[in-house]
């Protein structure tokens, strides 16, 4: 079953999106695998201290992206293949890169300064 032991809520980002991101990061890291059971809405909402509707929104997104399959009255599972994992990886990279670039721009760094900074941290 997918673990939320290391889940830490962040201010300013809706919990339902944080749950989606947590699961997607697990997919990219190879921690969340095809066929893994997803905690029930009730269990996960109790664990995170949120309304079950919040978890329903998260799961609806994952189902809409064809990453999760739910059956009425039954358990839910991750549905992953190489293509879906690559798609999730690409989405996360694009989102993270956009966030970093926007932050560097807001700090007034030029493209050259930003690239130099990234190079320093790369090593």
Site of tokens 């809405």: 41
Q: Is the pLDDT of residue 1 over 90?
A: no
**Whole-angstrom Cα distance, residue 13 to residue 25?**
16
Q: What is the pLDDT of residue 16?
A: 98
Task: Return the residue matching tokens 């997607």.
Answer: 24
34-83 tens-digit pLDDT? 999 999 999 999 999 999 999 999 999 999 999 999 877 789 999 999 99
Q: In whole angstroms, give the CA distance from residue 27 to residue 25.
A: 5
| DSSP H helical ranges for the chain | 15-29, 41-48, 52-64, 82-106, 111-122
Q: Report the SS3 class of residue 9.
A: coil
Looking at every residue in the chain, the average pLDDT score rounds to 95
Specify the pTM. Answer: 0.87
3-class DSSP assignment, residue 69: strand
The model's confidence at residue 11, banded by pLDDT at 50, 70 and 90, is very high
Ramachandran quadrant class, 66 (left: phi over 0; alpha: psi -120 to 50; beta: rest): left
Mean pLDDT of 90-97: 96
Q: Please give the DSSP secondary-structure letter assigned to residue 40.
A: P
pLDDT at 71: 78
Cβ atoms 32, 26 nearer than 8 A: yes
């Amino acid at each position: 079953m997918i673990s939320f032991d290391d889940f830490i809520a962040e201010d300013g980002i809706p919990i339902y999106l944080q749950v989606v991101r947590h699961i997607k990061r697990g997919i990219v890291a190879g921690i969340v695998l095809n066929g893994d059971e997803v905690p029930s809405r009730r269990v996960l909402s109790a664990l995170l201290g949120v309304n079950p509707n919040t978890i329903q929104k998260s799961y609806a997104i994952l189902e809409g992206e064809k990453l999760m399959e739910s059956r009425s009255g039954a358990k839910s599972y991750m549905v992953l293949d190489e293509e879906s994992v690559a798609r999730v990886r690409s989405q996360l990279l694009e989102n993270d890169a956009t966030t970093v670039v926007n932050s560097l721009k807001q700090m007034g760094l030029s493209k050259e300064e930003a690239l130099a900074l990234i190079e320093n941290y790369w090593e």
